[in-house]
Amino acid sequence: MRQQTKERLQRGNLLWEGSRFLLPEHKEAILPLFKDNQPKEKPLIDDQAIHEMERAIGAGLKRHIELYFSYWENGTFKTIVGEPIRIDQLHKRLYIKDSFHETHLLDLTNLVDVRSNH
């Protein structure tokens, strides 16, 4: 009897393999999550939006205020919250210092939106 018990324990997760199933309700709830993980195309930004972002970055540099930077990277949209430190116009990069005093390098061509929390 003990040998049989040891064998059952050594099977690992096989004991529960037969009880795995997916209800239609579960499938409907899971599918939108997978669709959200699909890579997204880089959006085209119009001139007015670029001008507004430039103004916000300029104000952040001048007044040392924290801004929300939304950018596109590898098919996903990401956000950094921090203070702009400087702009490298030659390489089109923006240096941002976050609340942990870490410096992030952001490619200006991937910038989607800049907002102030004020």
d(CA 60, CA 55): 9
pLDDT confidence band for 32 (50 / 70 / 90): confident
The full set of domains in the chain, from first to last, is 2-36 (no CATH), 47-116 (2.30.30.520)
Question: Does 107 score more than 70 pLDDT?
Answer: yes
Average pLDDT over residues 45-54: 94
pTM of the model: 0.68
Tens-place pLDDT, residues 13-29 = 555 555 566 778 877 88
**What is the structure's pLDDT at 10?**
57
- What is the tens place of the pLDDT at every residue in 77-86? 999 999 999 9
Q: Output the pLDDT for position 4.
A: 63
Burial 27-65 (b: 16+ CB within 10 A, else e): eeeeeeeeeeeeeeeeeeeeeeeeeebeebbebbbeeee
pLDDT of res. 84: 96
pLDDT at 42 over 90: no
Say yes or no to pLDDT of 95 above 80: yes
Q: What is the average pLDDT score of the chain?
A: 85
Q: If DSSP codes are grouped into helix, strand and coil, which group holds residue 20?
A: coil
